[in-house]
Amino acid sequence: MRPHTRPEGPARSRHRREDPLPLHPVSPTQPADSRSTDPLGAVRSRHRLEKAPSGHRPLIWLAGTAAAASLCLGLFVPLSSQASPGAATAASAPRATSRPVPASVVPAVNVAAGSPVIYSSVSAGDGGSAGPVTGGTVVSVTGSGLAGVSAASFGGNPGTVLSATDTTVTISTPASTDYGTGSVTVSLVDSTGAIVPVASTPADAANAAAAAATAAAAAKASSVASLSQAITPLVDATAPLAAATPVPSSASGALANTGSGTTAGEAAGTVSAAASVSALTFQYVPDPRITAQVDYVRAHWSSYNSAVYGSIGGNDCVNFTSQSLIARGWTMDAGWSYSPAGAGYSTAWSSSTAFAAYLSAHPERATPLTAGQSDRVKVGDIVQFDWDRSGDKDHTGIVTRVVKDASGTHIYYAGHTEDSLDKSVEESLANTGGTVSYWSVA
């Protein structure tokens, strides 16, 4: 047997002939030499031989062919034919359910508590919203989130915040400007310096707070939605991401119309405007104590009430002033009294100097004011004169009028001994050359 010899030529690969096979199939009847004239000259697969080498079974050819066929078939099989039996049913469900946005993309939003809101009017102890021009009326307002209220204003005059809880603020009213009567605007200020808004009813307050929380949640959900759309677009665009952002149920309709072009910022502005649907007011009325006091003075400045209090000849000014304070509501005590039988008048009841000393010892009843503080004097206060500038008090009267104009404060008074009504303090000083001081009566 002749030994098998390999034709001379370049070295070839273990599995590949030197001459490449064409990519198109070869007909069994096509001559072998025609392969060399294939214009494509393409390189064939690494693992497929045109025919098995002599002495070997075509296992590699079969395996390679089967694998390639399987791969090709797998690539060209329609995706729908590979779906599971339940795929048709699942396809009809919203894609938002089958492809949920990852929880890490849409974090839960913590709904912030509503801002401080007032939902009541200013209420005094008798249930009304009025008090005397002299101030001191204890009033309250109710709402939510009010624990931080730190100040109150009545017509521009600062009130005194007595207490503040989450639901109630209690305030002592100031005197009205120039002790005038009428309605003034009341405002409360929180710890940040912001004016606390007012709602007309508790329901309005709840809606305002819930709407504010919803607006904040909507603003955050909007930015989260943009992010999630960039990462995992939802097929069903009508399914809002806000559904994954819990908000109070009471606010479900608060922003119902924001889907028609209203932004979260505009909604927040609407909430702010809606919250301030009413204003707090307080009515200043004449102080009934002062009214009773002045009415008594006008009735007895020249017609002495001797039947009740007697009279002190030539020195009845303090006796008359003390009578007016009884009409105002003061009560006698051991230092300041009158008894028609027995002791008669105490020195503080009948002497200007002793009366000044008594008031100095009882600041709960009156506090001193100098001549330079005349702008703080009000009707019903006490005026005292030192005619000879000796330091003693020589005359006492009751303030009946206070007039303020461009030239300053002008005070008028009434008194006994030199019986007078609405007499000018300036005139009295001009006539005597003395000094004046006042007592602000509580």
Cα(43)–Cα(373) distance, integer angstroms: 114
Lowest mean pLDDT among 6-10, 75-79, 168-172, 356-360: 75-79
Q: Are 35 and 26 in contact (CB under 8 A)?
A: yes
Q: What is the pLDDT of residues 262-292, one digit of tens each?
A: 444 444 444 444 444 468 999 999 999 999 9
Q: What is the pLDDT of residue 21?
A: 47
Report for 32-41, 129-138, 194-203, 427-436: range of highest mean pLDDT: 427-436
Give the domains, in start order, of the chain with CATH numbers: 1-80 (no CATH), 115-286 (2.60.40.10), 288-441 (3.90.1720)
Tell how far CA 434 is from the center of its chain: 56
Contact 303, 150 (CB under 8 A): no
Burial readout 256-279 (b: 16 or more C-beta within 10 A, e: otherwise): eebeeeeebeebbebbeebbeeee
- Beta strands, E only, 364-406: 366-369, 382-386, 395-405
What does the alpha-carbon distance between residue 21 and residue 36 come to, in Å, rounded to a whole number? 8
* Lowest mean pLDDT, pick from 11-15, 231-235, 251-255, 304-308: 251-255
Backbone φ and ψ for 438, nearest 5 degrees, come out as: -135, 165
Phi, psi torsion values for 167, nearest 5 degrees: -110, -15
**Closest of 60, 25, 58 to residue 44, by C-alpha:** 25
Distance, CA of 410 to CA of 429 (rounded, Å): 12
Above 80 in pLDDT, residue 169?
Answer: yes
**Highest averaged pLDDT of the listed ranges 183-187, 188-192, 274-278:** 183-187
Residues 6+ positions from 187 with CB-CB distance below 8 Å: 152, 153, 195, 196, 280
pLDDT one-digit tens code per residue, 74-117: 444 444 444 444 444 444 545 544 455 444 444 443 333 568 99
Q: What is the pLDDT of residues 137-165, one digit of tens each?
A: 999 999 999 999 999 999 999 999 999 99
Report pLDDT for 377. 93
Collapsing DSSP states into helix, strand and coil, what is residue 299? Answer: helix
Query: Does residue 361 carry a pLDDT above 50?
Result: yes
Out of 127-141, 171-185, 268-282, least confident range: 268-282
The pLDDT of residue 225: 54
Quick check: 179 pLDDT over 60? yes
